[in-house]
Structure 1
Amino acid sequence: MAQNRLRLAQRRANTQHQNVLHRLGLSIVSGEFAENAILPGDGELLARFGVSRTVLREAMKTLSAKGMIHARARVGTRVLERRHWNYFDPDILYWHAETGIDKSFLTHLAEMRMAFEPEAAALAARRRTDAHVAELFSWIGKMETAQSSGGDFVEADLSFHIAIAEASGNPLMRSMSALIEVALEITFLVSSPIPNTVMHARSVARHRAIAEAIEAQDDDAARVAMRAVIRQGSKRVDAVIKGADGDHWINV
């Protein structure tokens, strides 16, 4: 779990712009700055973050592009309702992970995976090259040897799913893999098959079934195998949620 936390930390501030963006984004997602609320004025925010007006304005522009805020002359900058937010944006998803994840959010992520990944696997089965197949089995090998390192397993698993999006031959599927990557990482933050030996072996076997279906160019089998992998991850997460008193938020 500690290694998974590090992946989230790596997305945090390396520059003043990223620092302000991260802190403002978290404040909005957490509800400190609620939907339809007017953000504090520039003077207050400049004092709060200790940055230049240029840095603050760039962070505001980035949040506006994500659909989170809207500035109006003589009114101020208003936090938009969540229905306007771009939930395909990795930052917004990671900010949700940092502020705490509830059951409905995890369910929504799983539903998005189920909508896209089985079709990506089916397309990969039709269009894959020998090089694609070799890459998939290479990542499975790395998943299998990750006996004790959750970080190594996550890295191999993420790379496996991205490789399927690449093999699909559809650039839109590849673009969607950014959301899939975040969904997978959040799932692993909540529950990982490492170091549980039985869960680890089951996860590797089910991923291998996807690769074998793609190698055989069996698109129906690829869909079925991908659905099994997504369901397995959802079941692990559900077990953690039940242990955390149902709909309570899980801090990761």
Structure 2
Amino acid sequence: MVQSLLNQHFKLIVVLRLLKIPKSTYFDWVHYVEPNRQREDMILKALLHDIWQNNYRAYGEPRLRLALADLNLHHGTNRVRRLMREAGIYSVMSRRFNKPTTTVDYRQRPNLIKHLLAANAWSMDITYLKLSNGQWVYLASTLDLRTHKILAHQISATMDTKLVVTTLQRALLTHKKPNYLHTDMGSQFTSFGFENLLNQHKIEHSYSKLGHPYDNAKIESFHSLLKREMIYQFRFPSIAHLILDVFKYIHWFNNERISLANRKTKVA
């Protein structure tokens, strides 16, 4: 990929910044002459470490192999795993914290998209995040179920109707409305204000079955990734710090994070 971009007359410094590769690592790789296996391993370990470190330490062996393939460096699974072990590289899988519990006092409403696999639908959910001082704050996110992109998000110190209404309004301002919106049956999503917004835009509301969070698996999966790949690694002394770091992560998630599902590359 580096040479391809250079052939398109991109400046080397721009290419390395885009791929998040330090100049020293790149020149170590490009200038060696018939290195022995040990020398090559040292260079590859440095490169793997830089890729891993610059992507929230989230990448395991499959994504690291794909990142190397983008640099026209094709190496087998066993070698990459060995180099990862030697360099102390691992995909972060951190602790969970016990979040507050909520109850739902509404009768079950229909799941309209359960059998509509290609439906033009968005999904929304709220998750709990904790600041360094132990304070809980709340992240609401809107996800496009077809593209798996986060369309809008908002963090608030209160979990109320305004949080979800504002988040959905942000998504509708910059994206064409969906036919369906899928949520759980939390009180914020069944409130008059939220239902009224959906009615105004003629969006049908689909609901997860009570006690079945996997009905909303894609947005649940995003929030889980956010916590494991970023939240659990850092401390957030204020809500302002958290807002900035979540914004950066979502930009990376939407635009840079390697998706195994969308990559058909076979690394030899």
Give the TM-score of the pair, scaled to structure 1.
0.23
Q: Which has the higher contact order (CA 8 A, sep 6+)?
A: 1
Structure richer in strand, relative to its length: 2
Greater radius of gyration (CA): 2
Please state which structure has a larger fraction of its residues in helix: 1
